[in-house]
Structure 1
Amino acid sequence: MNLDYIIPNNWSIIEEGFNPELVKSSESIFSLGNGAMGQRANFEETYTGATFQGSYIAGVYYPDKTRVGWWKNGYPEYFAKVLNAPNWIGINVNINGTAFDLNTCKKVENFRRELNMKEGWLSRSFKATLPNDVEIAVKVKRFLSLDLDEVGAIKFQITPLNTHANIAFEPYLDSGITNEDSNWDDKFWDTLNVSHDNHQAFIQCKTMKTHFHVCAFMESEVFINDKKLLIEAKNTADATKTTFSYAHAVKQNETYTICKFGGYTVDRNHAKEDLVKAAKATLKKAKDIGFETLLDMQKQAWANIWEMADITIDGDVKAQQGIRFNIYQLNQTYLGTDARLNIGPKGFTGEKYGGSTYWDTEAYCIPFYMATKDQSVARNLLAYRYNHLQKAIENAEKLGFSNGAALYPMVTMNGEECHNEWEITFEEIHRNGAIAFAIYNYHRFTGDYSYIPQKGLEVLIGIARFWHQRASYSTQKNQYVILGVTGPNEYENNVNNNFYTNYIAKWCINYAVENIEKVEAEFASDFTRIMNKTKLSKAEISQWQEVANNMYFPYSEEHQVYLQQDGFLDKHLVTVANLDKSQRPINQKWSWDRILRSPYIKQADTLQGFYFFEDHFTTEELKRHFDYYEPFTVHESSLSPCVHSIQAAKLGQMDQAYTFYLRTSRLDLDDYNHEVHEGLHITSMAGTWMSIVEGFGGMRVRNNQLCFEPRIPSQWEAYSFKVNFRHQVLKVMVTQKETRFEVDGEQDLKILVNNREVHIIPHQLIAV
């Protein structure tokens, strides 16, 4: 089914016409979040058609027991589930005794759904004819407040068009929910208490095993033609559900409205015995502010985000819509205000993958958050990993490593490994390198070295110890090798000497040693504390260096490229261009055995190394490797197009760069991978930002200085973006004729543009 149904628009995601086959996809695309909670765009009212119900609370999860056919020592005991939380958005509607359900309506006309990204709200409007022939006009608007992040608000309006109608709004809370994604169909929630007080209702519940305590809450008011009605609501309740009923006789063409506030208080933020009290206080705040004023606050909060984060594109609406959708979803998922949280690959839009933290955060998300927010946000993401260092050491110990070697998890909620595909979990060890690279990247961009002596060096030591122990000495090669790994290309498992893994292992060791020496020379008290804590000796460091200095990298003299892994040339090397299109995507058409034997690459692998360590290679080497590997790349990972777009732009291959940009920016909007119904690809959205700023803008940091090599696709008239570089906000505007720079604040800024120094004076446009 072609899912290219989203109406192009600069600031909104718009769907016109009701198609039941698109409901699950739209539930993902129109999702809402505010960093603390989120929800798929499920209808508030009853819907009996195919739907994927999902409301989620940041940091709340369930350890679903690992399900494998044959247990191997070292498997994690559980797979962390992103939990579908108790439903607070529900408002059943009964009209003249008939349940309102879009799936059973005789006719649905003028259906329009809009996600307004500029202002942060979701709306629906339509006309419908019910089975009892009552015709109604419906308008619904909802948002999750950024200012009061425990609260969401809904305004649901119904106007009977062809008759008077007895309409009952039935707002409810429901903790009897299930997960779309479950290994054993376990019960995830234990409902402790269902209560109500006047127009307020509360469900107190806790997760099984992890014992997160949550209070779901709601309060509603009803209006006729915007005049508040004082209706005594009837309450019905059972063990997991509580419902109010607001019934009213509505005249033809009158508008009956319910405003509902709801959300969650969680024991991550309140004492568990105070959750109802906290919910009441939150509801009072929201109700005192009121729906419209809270919505005005929402618009201002989003205006503040867009002031720094927006990227404008002139002359290409679909490209503009794509980048704003990506930036919007990233900010809905993570705002950097809570160092205990991280950026899950599906955010608040679905349950696939489980866990909240992958290497995507360090490799893709940190650059976005560093440049579009205060550097403290990126530092919080680094601190998250430092806080999990002991767990990373324990994860490594379970696999037989010792002496403080740290293996960070492939997937985690609390620092423990909770992913159970052996070839991914225990062979995709390159994620350790991404975590070390993020520390380097943070210092390179922000100039803030303090994180390393305070926290980061301990992480680097644990990672270096891991690489030292994970490498093996090959007497045949007289070099160190790393065997049995999976690189970023998950379409090759259990290979030897993946170039990217070996290269980043060598770099990690060298970077750790470099920083040990710097901390020893410049931060004596931190150095003493760290050495006492880690019991690191000069002799151990020299053993690391022996491994780094003699690391093996597979290389083809014939092709003049580093090989992705030892056996790559043994494959039947047929490029993607010669692959039957009916066989795509191969991950949905081929057996895993066939994929593993093929030459096809899921995402940048060797080229991921060239992206991270661009300065280690010449442009000629990059071109040689790009031209060799990209033709074998099927881009079936959401993380693939952005890296290739950046590299194609650097090589001046602008048509390719633009094609990859469109793919990364509209991956979910146009459902390239035929899986958007499962949720969005949140972490790869940061790669979309990178593809413009680092790709087309050519932004780099070299020798403590911002550098640019601006390029522009022929399809665009102009584009602009801002970066917060070391507390100075620089705006960059690129047209087909020139590039203009402007810096806020009071300090001058010197940058390099196409290797020429440019001096920028505050509040003066400089054209280059």
Structure 2
Amino acid sequence: MLNYDAGQGEWSNWLVTETGFDPAHQGKGEAVLSIGNGYMGLRSATDENYVGQVRNWFVAGTFNKFDEHEVTELPNAADVTELSITLNGETFSLEKGRTISYSRQLNLKNGELTRNVVWQSPTGESFELQFRRFVSLSNRHLVGSSVSIKPLDGQARVHIASGINGQWTNSGAQHFTEGEKRIFEKTYIQMTSTTTQSVVDFVTNTVHHWQLNGAKVEPELRQTMGRRKVGIEGTVTVEAGQSVTLEKISNVHTSRDLVYNNGGYSLEQMRESALTELKQESQKGYDQLFRESANAWADTWSTYNIEVDSTSGYDQLAIRFAIYHLVIMTPAHDNRMGIGAKGLSGEGYKGHSFWDTEIFILPFFIYSNPKIARSLLEYRYQGLDGARSKAKENGFEGAMYPWEAAWIEDGEVTPVWGDVDIVTGEQTKIWSGFIEQHITSDIAYAVWHYVQSTGDEAFMDQYGYEIIFDTATFWASRLEWDENKGRYHINEVVGPDEYKEHVDNNAFTNHMAHFNMELAIQYYEKLQQEKPELLKALSAKLDLTSAREAWNKLDQMYLPGPNEQGLIPQDDTYLQKKVIDLTPYKNQTKVASIFNDYNLDQVGEMQISKQADIMMLFFLLENKFEPDIKRANYDYYEEKTLHDSSLSLSTHSILASDFGNRPLAYDLFRRASEIDLGPHMHSSDAGIHSASLGGIWECVVMGFAGVRMLDGQLHLDPKLPESWSSLKFPLYWQNQLLHITITAEGILIESDAEEEISLLLSGQQVTFSKRFQTLV
């Protein structure tokens, strides 16, 4: 189980602690306690091996396709964390002997994973073991680990086998051809390997340093080499009360690294430079390398930290946990890469990017680190050619973004087949890659959101206009004329509610497509007036004369609106479907439990929603709907929403804040935070939930603090939970950093800039420079 109140003093609400080892529930700790730096992610499997363990080491952007009938995925790199420890002839394992004490901790503040164990072997001898591990935030290629072993009863022969193990796979799929293995100077271990289809070279290095009571010691050493494995075995005799420490410093470089993007690459050069780096860095030792990384974390937290004064310390920790993972999952170093739906913490969703990034994660960076937000949108720009190819392949024009994206050149990478159909016994077809098309307008919306909040016109000139124009062209070609109704429809889609497939006129999809085309028209007219030369260049590239005429179809487009009861139909048939008692599924301990009783076709004929759908529309385009309409639909659809998607709870929480229902908003925030941190021990087996973690930030800043960008203006309308006495957070607006403090007594906004800041505070216009304070 996980514990969240172990931290005291400086570490209060910074520590996530695993209080016991359970071989049946390893996945939870492996994912939740994972470490990384955006370049790489290291799942936190224990050093020693157990059945059911999943070791994952992913380097962002290194996608490979195992087989022509499978889709590309992040390959599981050769492992450097595995240790086999033998103490007086007994292999260290928590599944035998007796575990006297156990604690494993992730320190969110400095990024270090530690584990402390007192273990009694089957022969009755006791040992104290301390494990430490970090992925460097100051050197993105570096991993440090160490183990210290102290015999408590008498002399011990400590034997440790370690090295590089390339035998690990992605659930059985081996993505690498074996390259050269080498041990230099009987000290530095190197393995090269190459992905089978994408031909990405990996170079992995590691080195071991041994100490006895803090002094360097040379063990009895044996070099080992086998199929996809290379390493060493060392033995040291240790007296009772003494400690032997093995420090292991490793690095990984790949041919996809940004430094090689403009040519000049050779495998030999990369091998040499990677090994030279390891030799230089490893001389510093674990402690110094860790201090350098911890200093980088201190700088990071000074940028992102949110402070909450709550009656529950867990709230503060949950927010820090979300920010920590948002940092380590995001490839901020390279705009050719996106964010995976499981970050870099597990094999779930194969490292692919979804709409999760633009709608749930990007706002965190827009308002906390706009430079990274820009990089993530540049990734989508570089994917335009793939989006155009997908549109053409499906008989449309413009740019049709893939539902799942990987490397910028890959296009659509959504798997075609999924889980079992409990009725037919066949695999369920995944239709998202074919007909879940709202991601195209979601990306256009994200571009608009970013530019409205940052004022980054240079981005629009280089990338943004092209994205918005070509996505609008796709929607214009996607519309279907209904002769009987005399209007354009969007038929045969999947909306955000993925329990409804092949529906016509999904309200979210239609409204967002209309917004996309409307936005294109506005920007076209803006360029006509302000930047005719840019418009001329874009017109030559995109045939905007024809496109501009096609966008006018929006005037005759069907936009689902409120019926007599004030309800907006989620799609053409949703409100006519069967209603069943969802109480058992609302109280489920595992998501998607409804599929134990029904298959997807049956669920599709019931008023059951996987996640927020209409609610997402209210959140993104809130100015288009009256408050009473929002509330009526919230009350109706919430009863029918199972929140089986991790994206759902945060949206409902934000809307509950908008309605002034503080207890409900807070309850939904807590439930969202417990998707990974909660008691369900298999919730994170495939990796953490990236979008949910972005949603936690949104609950706090866009929900409780009421931060919104509406009509190009910054809005602030706080509604703190009753259990919170204060909330402090940083916020960028129009390239100016604001520090906002909200308490029961009032609001304080401070800025380092001299320029005037203008915003709407609870609906009232406020203009100030440097400092503004109001008291309730």
Normalised by the shorter chain, which TM-score bucket? over 0.9
Q: Which residue of 2 aligns with 1:491?
A: 499
- Rounded to whole Å, the distance in 2 between the matches of 1:434 and 1:671 is 33
Q: Paired residue for 1:195, among 166, 175, 182?
A: 182
1:197, CA displacement in angstroms? 0.6
Match for residue 80 of structure 1 among 72, 76, 81: 72
Cα gap change, 1:61 to 1:132, in 2 (>3 Å): farther
Letter in 2 for 1:550: Q
Which of 33, 54, 57 is the equivalent residue of 2:56?
54
Q: Distance in 1 between matches of 2:698 and 2:605?
A: 32
Maintained 8 Å contact 1:7/1:15: no
Deviation at residue 344 of structure 1 after TM alignment? 0.5
Find the counterpart in structure 2 of residue 63 from structure 1: 65
**Paired AA for residue 565 in structure 2:** H
Matches within 5 A, 1:519-538: 519-537=527-545
Distance 1:556 1:755, change over 3 A: closer
Which position in structure 2 is the counterpart of 1:552? 558
Letter in 2 for 1:371: Y
Q: 1:298 to 1:579 in 2, by over 3 A?
A: closer
Q: Which residue of 2 aligns with 1:463?
A: 471
Q: Which stretch shows the higher mean deviation, 149-158 or 354-363?
A: 354-363
Which residue of 2 is the match for residue 617 of structure 1? 625
CA contact (8 A) 1:694 1:700 kept: yes
Which of 93, 104, 129 is the aligned partner of 1:113?
104
Q: Which runs of 5+ in 1 are unaligned?
A: 68-77
Q: CA deviation at 1:376?
A: 2.1
Displacement after TM superposition at 1:42 (Å)? 0.8
Output the CA distance in 2 between the equivalents of 1:485 and 1:671.
35
**CA–CA distance in 2 between the matches of 1:29 and 1:112?**
15
CA contact (8 A) 2:473 2:550 kept: no
2:161 aligned residue:
170
Could you tell me which residue of structure 2 aligns to residue 254 of structure 1?
242
1:684 is the counterpart of 2:687: no
Aligned pairs for 1:193-342 within 5 A: 193-198=180-185, 199-231=187-219, 233-269=221-257, 270=260, 271=265, 272-314=267-309, 315-334=311-330, 336-342=332-338
1:514 equivalent in alignment to 2:522: yes
SS of 1:473's equivalent in the other structure is strand
Deviations 1:207-261 (A, max 9, x none): 1111110011101100011111134632110131111122111001100001100
Aligned residue identity for 1:267: S
5 and 588 in structure 1: CA distance in 2 versus 1, 3 angstrom threshold: farther
TM-score scaled by structure 1? 0.93
C-alpha contact (below 8 Å) 2:435/2:494 kept by paired residues = yes
| Structure 2 CA distance for partners of 1:389 and 1:194, relative to 1, 3 Å | same
Q: Which amino acid aligns with 2:647?
A: L
SS at match of 1:361: helix
Alignment of 1:336-735 (within 5 A): 336-373=332-369, 375-402=370-397, 404-414=398-408, 415-421=410-416, 422-537=430-545, 539-545=546-552, 547-555=553-561, 557-574=563-580, 576-577=582-583, 581=587, 585=591, 586-590=593-597, 591-670=599-678, 674-735=682-743
Amino acid at match of 2:184: D
8 Å Cα contact 1:28-1:349 kept in structure 2: yes
Are residues 765 and 256 of structure 1, via their aligned partners in 2, closer, same or farther at CA, if it must alter by over 3 Å?
Answer: farther
**Equivalent residue of 2:205, what SS?**
strand
Rounded to whole Å, the distance in 2 between the matches of 1:592 and 1:66 is 27
Give the AA of the match of 2:181: V
Alpha carbons of structure 1 residues 223 and 603: separation in structure 2 relative to 1, 3 Å: same
Q: Which residue in 2 is equivalent to 1:762?
A: 770
Q: Which residue of 2 aligns with 1:75?
A: none
Q: For 1:169 and 1:569, how far apart are their aligned partners in 2?
A: 64
- Residue 543 of structure 1 aligns with an amino acid whose one-letter code is A
Which amino acid in the other structure matches residue 93 of structure 1? Answer: I
Shift, 1:330, TM fit:
0.6
2:152 aligned with 1:161? yes
Residues 567 and 66 of structure 1: is their aligned pair in 2 closer, same or farther, counting only changes over 3 Å?
farther
Describe the SS at the equivalent of 1:488. coil
Deviation digits for residues 372-401 of structure 1 (CA, Å, limit 9, x no counterpart): 11x221111111111111111111122122
Q: Which moved more, 1:585-594 or 1:434-443?
A: 585-594
* Residue aligned with 2:84, SS: strand
Task: Report the secondary structure of 2:349's partner residue.
Answer: coil
Instruction: Judge conservation of contact 2:331–2:338 (CA < 8 Å) in 1.
Output: no
**2:385, 2:723 → 1: CA distance?**
50
User: Which stretch of structure 1 is more off in the superposition, 15-24 or 313-322?
Assistant: 15-24
Say if 1:97 and 1:128 are closer, same or farther in 2 by CA, change over 3 A: same
Distance apart, 1:765 and its partner CA: 5.8
Q: Are the equivalent residues in 2 in contact too, given 1:80–1:355 (CA < 8 A)?
A: no
CA contact (8 A) 2:400 2:437 kept: no
Match of 1:132 in 2: 123
CA separation in 1, counterparts of 2:705 and 2:306?
Answer: 11
- Take 1:316 and 1:110, find their aligned partners in 2: how far apart are those partners? 27
Paired amino acid for 1:13: V
Residues 398-439 of structure 1 show CA distances to partners (whole Å, capped at 9, x for unaligned) of 21224x443434333334111134421111100101000011
Give the stretch that moved more between structures: 442-451 or 592-601: 592-601
**Structure 2 counterpart of 1:712, one-letter code:** L
Pick which of 449-458 and 757-766 moved more: 757-766
Structure 2 letter corresponding to 1:337: H
The answer to whether the 8 A contact 1:479-1:551 is kept is yes
Query: Whole-Å Cα distance in 1 between the matches of residues 226 and 586 of structure 2?
Result: 56
Aligned length: 746
Letter in 2 for 1:406: M
Partner of 1:32: 35
One-letter code aligned to 1:652: G
What is the aligned-residue RMSD (CA, Å)? 2.1
Residue 761 (structure 1) shift: 4.2
Cα 1:130–1:420 change in 2 (3 A) is same
283 and 588 in structure 1: CA distance in 2 versus 1, 3 angstrom threshold: farther
Once the two structures are TM-superposed, the CA of residue 580 in structure 1 deviates from its matched residue by 7.4
C-alpha distance in structure 1 between counterparts of 2:648 and 2:101, whole Å: 38
Query: Aligned in 2, Cα 1:11/1:5: closer, same or farther, shift over 3 Å?
Result: closer
- Could you tell me which amino acid in structure 2 is paired with residue 283 of structure 1? L
* Structure 2 residue ranges without an equivalent (≥5): 8-12, 417-429
Quick one: distance in 2 between partners of 1:524 and 1:94?
74
Deviations 1:172-199 (A, max 9, x none): 101111212xxxx443111111101121
Q: Equivalent residue for 1:70?
A: none
CA distance in 2, matches of 1:550, 1:284: 67
Q: Deviations over 1:462-497 (max 9, x none)?
A: 211211111100011111111110000001011111
Question: Compared with structure 1, are the counterparts of its residues 42 and 582 closer, same or farther at alpha carbon in structure 2 (3 Å cutoff)?
Answer: closer
220 and 760 in structure 1: CA distance in 2 versus 1, 3 angstrom threshold:
farther
Pairwise CA distance, 1:540: 3.8
User: What's the offset of the Cα at 1:555?
Assistant: 4.3
Aligned-pair distance for 1:704? 4.3
